[in-house]
Structure 1
């Protein structure tokens, strides 16, 4: 019997499109894959240079890692689906790092944003250089020569570095208008291993990225940490008014570290200067973002959830001896994986605990601010202990509203009047209808303009700020106390 198999497997263009050619749509996600490769190559420095000149746009990423020989280029870099962890040690040789790469398709992500990629690499004095073109790949793999593509060799005499790899991205699919500052911020948030502590520095246009570029630690008002033996997160969130350490031990016996915080303000105040939403809890694995926002898994609707921000490091999700838990895009985790289910259960219980503590802290803060108003302070002193507890709850709810100090003072005065009239009528419990939950399908609301009112499910498109519900309900209770018609 002939040893040659009569069977052939062809890698189609459609498969390549799903694997990487159309994997990402933004520059930070693509560059994250290149930075991760540099980490795996034991690089100490990565330099990213952006040239936005019209018709000459390009991005250059260069590292001083171990580089590749021509044989390694063919057997590893150009082999789509190369399983690094099955062919190498569990950790890198120089810095004993846990590798980030796993699927072997990250290099294809470059074609998500550009048509031409040039690669130059040096290892132990051996220089290699080649160019890949997206249109050529499609023509080769999409035609009769399916499954094989041969990059064009480039001269190596212009390579001016002694070790590492340089990737030049040209012929972008769309304008590279990404400002260096925005890219710096977004890359800083995608990695926790950038900095001298990890012997890994990343520069954009010669300016080094640091944890400060994440631009959200200063927004944390109340902080909960787990696995923070060195108080790293306490130092980063230096403006936090309250800090509590929690255990990071999961029911499975695995441990996580990280932090969850609540910001002082929500809504637009919880966006950065580039317009990115910070109201999320990211999951990082081996120092790189694996899940953009685990909050999505819980469907939280309370005002509390709109103040949340955090980072959860869960390296147990990427053990070498277990199946890959990441989706092909490397931006999400397979939702029904048992390991992820355990993590979600832990986060869910932790958020419930944090919510109770947050409510208490906000009530205390709201009471403190309310009692700074002399008239309200005098009124509060006349209440018995039980009524004071109800009053503090009302102050706390008003304190959660995203309003100016003057507007909150106005709401506090209205709240006190509502409190008195409802108490007089024996209907003080109606204050509980000022819910801290986002209105459901049967809730009544007023839109921010005050012109619309009705059922949330039927009219939600007319009102794009559900926090305003609380303002109008407070005023509604005030009106109801005087037997006015509200809705």
Structure 2
């Protein structure tokens, strides 16, 4: 007794209609058939009547099918082409086949009830029809209707498949369809895919189209990411991209898609369990790993949206991809930070690193936090540049020169005049406080230029030596450099008194301010006074030690 395997026509419904009910994946299967038939071009024409879809026709210039090919290959469901014919390159374009399970042809029934296949191979033409209703009505075998069998023609090789009695009701959008198909294929230079809409408009499926809506910022290739000594070197190609702004989830482009032999095998993802970093909102791209098709076990799902990651080789590959993505994320953060710094400098005129380098540690930390937080925005130049410039004005380079950091001897008593805008009074008050401090330390009842003498050494010409130390020391005078500083302090004090203190005291204040003493002049004078007053700390400490 011979055993006989029968099939239920409902099986075709489950494998074809259910799996390929939407246009892009169904057309992708037909495109794959043309690719595997060594076609250089495939044209998909979408026809409508009064705005309603009526037919889809697929033209290719591939090898075509003989009557024997139709019977023994095309009409056999689940035929493993690679096992029967070998995994060999095609004759013209040297392509390795993408088809493997023999189920792609069922995509036809996902779109239409009536299918006409018209094919020419080596001058012989064959045409037959498949009808969905007739197929369902059959028991376990089905006989397609044949119109033409081995008719001698002068036509070039190729195949035309027409789908009619379409199940689709909504009108065609060839631009959206071309976008979707561009995400399913990595199109090589020898394979042209065009769509023709009802109005005659053409749209091409291409690699460039896949990321046309992405404003790319940075990209990485296998040359940058895979070391020559690594086992995956030469086996994996990749093109990873980050966009300037977050990629909309609805675009279907977030994450990295996996391809093998030019066709999608795993929908975009990140190959990691932890995807909380905002980096993942910017990442897209593709990885081509043809070696996956060579594994002994078929790890590619029937709908080509996922892989069997439990397979040992695939688990190892996933772990590697996770590390690659993490490396790209780290590099992205560095590149992005550097680019934002360049943008900030171009827009604000501020060199951030130079600015931060002049700030005291406590001030720097606070300023860095503010600037960094603003730098995380996507619109730094437009939104936060004025804020950064304002912060720079409040906390400028070398902020210790600011009046708020004056020496304690003069700070408190000048602040009220400064806050009131009385800059001449503020500077004059600072000079008075400094002079009083010098008198207290020296015990000399002097003022103005004469007061500066308390910092001088007494020089004896006869012995060519200093025979008496200064009354008020600002250092221990143990070296020539320190003695020069001491002598310079005397000259600075003398200049301050002669160039500012005396003119202020011998002129009506209203005539001097603001025509001669501006706010900046006031701050500069106070800075000098603060410097001179700070040097008096040494002498003050000496006095305390004596007591």
TM-score (norm 1): 0.70
Q: Distance in 2 between matches of 1:247 and 1:177?
A: 49
- Whether the 8 Å CA contact 1:52–1:176 is kept in 2: the answer is no
Q: Is the aligned partner of 1:84 residue 2:60? A: no
Task: Assess, with a 3 A threshold, how the Cα gap between structure 1 residues 291 and 34 changes in structure 2: closer, same or farther.
Answer: same
Q: Distance in 1 between matches of 2:12 and 2:92?
A: 33
Q: Distance in 2 between matches of 1:375 and 1:291?
A: 46
Q: 2:199 maps to which residue? A: none
Q: 2:100 maps to which residue? A: 102
User: What aligned pairs does 1:204-223 form with structure 2 within 5 A after superposition?
Assistant: 204-205=195-196, 208-216=204-212, 219-223=215-219
What are the Cα deviations for residues 53-95 of structure 1, in whole angstroms up to 9, with x where unaligned?
2455211111111111111101100100111111113222232
Q: Distance in 2 between matches of 1:399 and 1:136?
A: 65
Q: Is the aligned partner of 1:200 residue 2:191? A: yes
| Residue of structure 2 aligned with 1:300, choices 275, 285, 291 | 275
- Whether the 8 Å CA contact 1:185–1:215 is kept in 2: the answer is no
Which structure: greater helix fraction?
2
Q: Distance in 2 between matches of 1:177 and 1:259?
A: 34
Please, which moves more after superposition, 11-20 or 337-346? 11-20
- Whether the 8 Å CA contact 1:285–1:313 is kept in 2: the answer is yes
Q: 1:163 maps to which residue? A: 157
What are the Cα deviations for residues 450-478 of structure 1, in whole angstroms up to 9, with x where unaligned?
xxxxxxxxxxxxxxxxxxxxxxxxxxxxx
Q: Distance in 1 between matches of 2:368 and 2:130?
A: 66
Q: Distance in 1 between matches of 2:253 and 2:237?
A: 20
Q: 2:109 maps to which residue? A: 111
- Whether the 8 Å CA contact 1:364–1:392 is kept in 2: the answer is no
Q: 2:120 maps to which residue? A: 122
What are the Cα deviations for residues 352-397 of structure 1, in whole angstroms up to 9, with x where unaligned?
2122221222222333344443689696464247976886676455
User: What aligned pairs does 1:12-411 form with structure 2 within 5 A after superposition?
Assistant: 12-53=8-49, 54-55=51-52, 57-89=54-86, 90-140=88-138, 145=139, 147-155=140-148, 161-175=155-169, 177-195=171-189, 199-205=190-196, 208-216=204-212, 219-227=215-223, 244=224, 246-247=226-227, 255-268=235-248, 276-295=251-270, 297-319=272-294, 322-371=296-345, 372-373=347-348, 380=356, 382-384=358-360, 395-396=371-372, 398-403=374-379, 405-409=381-385
1:263, distance to aligned residue in structure 2 (A): 0.9
- Whether the 8 Å CA contact 2:225–2:324 is kept in 1: the answer is no
Task: Assess, with a 3 A threshold, how the Cα gap between structure 1 residues 96 and 386 changes in structure 2: closer, same or farther.
Answer: farther
User: What aligned pairs does 1:434-473 form with structure 2 within 5 A after superposition?
Assistant: none
Task: Assess, with a 3 A threshold, how the Cα gap between structure 1 residues 389 and 362 changes in structure 2: closer, same or farther.
Answer: farther
Task: Assess, with a 3 A threshold, how the Cα gap between structure 1 residues 149 and 278 changes in structure 2: closer, same or farther.
Answer: same
Three-state SS of the structure 2 residue aligned to 1:166 is: strand
Q: 2:468 maps to which residue? A: none
- Structure 2: segments with no counterpart, 5+ residues: 197-201, 397-547
Q: 2:451 maps to which residue? A: none
- Whether the 8 Å CA contact 2:53–2:168 is kept in 1: the answer is no
Task: Assess, with a 3 A threshold, how the Cα gap between structure 1 residues 345 and 59 changes in structure 2: closer, same or farther.
Answer: same
- Whether the 8 Å CA contact 2:270–2:322 is kept in 1: the answer is no
Higher-Rg member (1/2): 2
- Whether the 8 Å CA contact 1:23–1:329 is kept in 2: the answer is yes
1:34, distance to aligned residue in structure 2 (A): 1.0
Task: Assess, with a 3 A threshold, how the Cα gap between structure 1 residues 365 and 120 changes in structure 2: closer, same or farther.
Answer: same
Q: Greater relative contact order: 1 or 2 (C-alpha under 8 angstroms, separation 6 or more)?
A: 1
- Whether the 8 Å CA contact 2:36–2:97 is kept in 1: the answer is yes
Q: 2:525 maps to which residue? A: none
- Whether the 8 Å CA contact 1:362–1:399 is kept in 2: the answer is no
1:286, distance to aligned residue in structure 2 (A): 0.5
Three-state SS of the structure 1 residue aligned to 2:270 is: helix
Three-state SS of the structure 1 residue aligned to 2:183 is: helix
What are the Cα deviations for residues 425-452 of structure 1, in whole angstroms up to 9, with x where unaligned?
xxxxxxxxxxxxxxxxxxxxxxxxxxxx
Three-state SS of the structure 2 residue aligned to 1:293 is: strand
